[in-house]
Amino acid sequence: MSEIYNSQKAPEPVGAYPHARQVGNLVFLSGVGPRKKGTHVIPGVDPHDIAIQTQSVIENVQTILQDCGLELKHIVDIQVFLTNMKRDFATFNQVYNKTFAVLGPTRTTIEVGSLPTPIAVEFKVIAAR
């Protein structure tokens, strides 16, 4: 029916949820932020640097996917949550495009009032096996 994945290499979830869950050929990642594994360190928070945070999120997504036996090229959809669209979108988009412009997943980017930790960006990813 479904399989749950918890990566030993990615940052621990901040709540009671798995890193990913597969249903059929789709793999759904829980929200992924820029935190570093085994720490509470969040790159690019002080001082604020959305480029560093975005790159760290991409690396964390890649780590989780690898532990699911997938790669970034398997992503079909990304939902991006930014806490300040006006300030961060252009820089976020430049970093995002370096990885995903060629791969071509669909994307929705929305501004949110806050995220569970003091981060400025989070991805919600769906990949296909």
The per-residue pLDDT of the chain, averaged, comes to 96
Q: What is the CATH number of the domain that holds 46?
A: 3.30.1330.40
* Total of domains in the chain: 1
HSE-CB of 17 using CA atoms within 13 angstroms? 11
3-class state of residue 110 by DSSP: strand
pTM above 0.85, yes or no: yes
Tokens of 99: 């990885």
Does residue 113 surpass a pLDDT of 80?
yes
Range of 18's domain? 2-128
For residue 3, the model assigns a pLDDT of: 96
For residue 40, the model assigns a pLDDT of: 84
pLDDT above 90 coverage of the chain, percent:
94
Q: Quick one: average pLDDT of 68-86?
A: 98
Residue 95 carries which side chain, given as an amino acid letter? Answer: V
The confidence band for 105, taking pLDDT boundaries of 50, 70 and 90, is very high
Contact 27, 21 (CB under 8 A): yes
Tokens of 80: 């991006």
Each residue of 3-61: pLDDT tens digit? 999 999 999 998 899 999 999 999 999 999 999 998 889 999 999 999 999 999 999 99
